[in-house]
Amino acid sequence: MKRYRRLFVPGGTYFFTVITNRRIGIFADDAAREILKAAWKKTAEERPFETVAFCLLPDHLHCVWTLPDGDAHYPARWTAIKCLFTRMYKENGGIRSRPTKGRVRRLAAQSGGYSGIWQKRYWEHVIRDETDFQKHVDYIHYNPVKHGLANRPADWEWSTFRKYVSQGIYDNAWGETPLEWPEEFGDVCD
């Protein structure tokens, strides 16, 4: 079994990619987006973090968080968001996918249930410096264009791009020209 090693930097800034199980497009639904927003807000109130950049697509999300000084425990926050969302989503009649055969075998050996909503793992990356930060924030905001969901970042409603435009960080026309991405943004971040 693979052992995943995560880097924990107290007060750090992190890039995350979180994907739905089997890439089911549950976030194309207004109710699912509202439930995620509620789970996100409740988790941030109980375990503070700053959402620096964010983009929600039908089957995954990207974000950058900054944690409080001395705190590096982002896994607890993701667990809380996923669990709260799953509970509220199911209570509201949300769909879920069937587990793969491999997951059924693993679940039989573990306690707990199968939610059918989220992939078990997520991608995390510690932001190293200002260049790394800008590269990841740009990636987040350009992602709807990359996936063919919008013609330009300004057209996508479910991201922090418009906030960045209002703060003068981006011009409203940013991203209208196709952008090239470093190899490190390959399949892991899709």
pLDDT band at 142 (very low <50, low <70, confident <90, very high): very high
Is residue 175 situated within a structural domain?
yes
What's residue 71's pLDDT? 97
Is residue 22 situated within a structural domain?
yes
What's residue 179's pLDDT? 80
- The span from the CA of 190 to the CA of 141, in Å, is 13
Tell me: pLDDT of 55 over 80: yes
Is residue 59 situated within a structural domain?
yes
Q: What is the dihedral of CA 174, 18, 38, 83, to 10 degrees?
A: 180
Tell me: pLDDT of 82 over 60: yes
Is residue 188 situated within a structural domain?
no
Is residue 5 situated within a structural domain?
no
- Helix, strand and coil in the chain, % to nearest 5: 45, 15, 45
User: What CATH number is attached to the domain comprising 48?
Assistant: 3.30.70.1290
Q: Number of structural domains, the chain? A: 1
What's residue 116's pLDDT? 83
pLDDT band at 103 (very low <50, low <70, confident <90, very high): very low
- Domain with 152 in it: 13-179
Residues 24-35: what's their mean pLDDT? 96
User: Of residues 104 and 17, which shows the higher confidence score?
Assistant: 17
Is residue 185 situated within a structural domain?
no
Residues 138-143: what's their mean pLDDT? 97
Tell me: pLDDT of 137 over 60: yes
Is residue 74 situated within a structural domain?
yes
Is residue 7 situated within a structural domain?
no
pLDDT band at 108 (very low <50, low <70, confident <90, very high): very low
